[in-house]
Amino acid sequence: MKYSIDTSSLLAGWVRHYPPDVFPPVWEKIEELITQGHLRATEEVLHELKMQDDEMYRWARSQPDFIVPIDEAIQLEVRDILRHHPKLIDERKNRSGADPFVIALAAVNDATVVCNELPSRAANRPHIPDVCAARGIELIDFLTLLRREGWSLR
């Protein structure tokens, strides 16, 4: 596995920047990454997609190798992440419950996080980029993923 992707990147790609009806090759390449075992998301990301975008959710569910079940290694990593960054999730302030799982999946697989969030730089409301920086986990956005994989739309 090379990449653990967050809901923000999936939606940024699917809805805002590379909708599949306009850029089908992007999503064909994403599906290849999934099939090759290089791109994964956790069950928590799938849960967020279910609440956000019907088409994206159906697409994610249709990818048989995309969603990783939460195992003990991921749970232990999530617990450690939340011990050091308890404000990463806060349901009262609508903070994402998937965020620590995205980071944990990358950490246990020595992978890169793909996320389109910006850092908050505030300890009382950290975002994925803040936690990744603190934990030494590489983070890229969706466009950087496309560039890193050497894809171009010509």
Instruction: Return d(Cα 78, Cα 105) in angstroms, integer.
Output: 9
Q: What pTM, to 2 d.p., does this model score?
A: 0.93
CATH of the domain at 131: 3.40.50.1010
Q: What is the pLDDT of residue 136?
A: 98
Spatial contact of 2 and 105, defined as CB atoms under 8 Å apart: no
Mean pLDDT of the region 110-119: 97
The alpha helices in 6-98, defined as continuous H runs, are 7-11, 24-35, 43-52, 54-62, 72-84
**Count of structural domains within the chain:** 1
Domain range for 95 is: 3-148
> Considering the domain boundaries, does residue 153 fall inside one?
no
> Considering the domain boundaries, does residue 154 fall inside one?
no
Q: 20 CB contacts (<8 Å, ≥6 apart)? A: 14, 26, 27, 59
Mean pLDDT of the region 18-44: 97
> Considering the domain boundaries, does residue 35 fall inside one?
yes
> Considering the domain boundaries, does residue 109 fall inside one?
yes
Residue 127 has pLDDT above 90, yes or no: yes
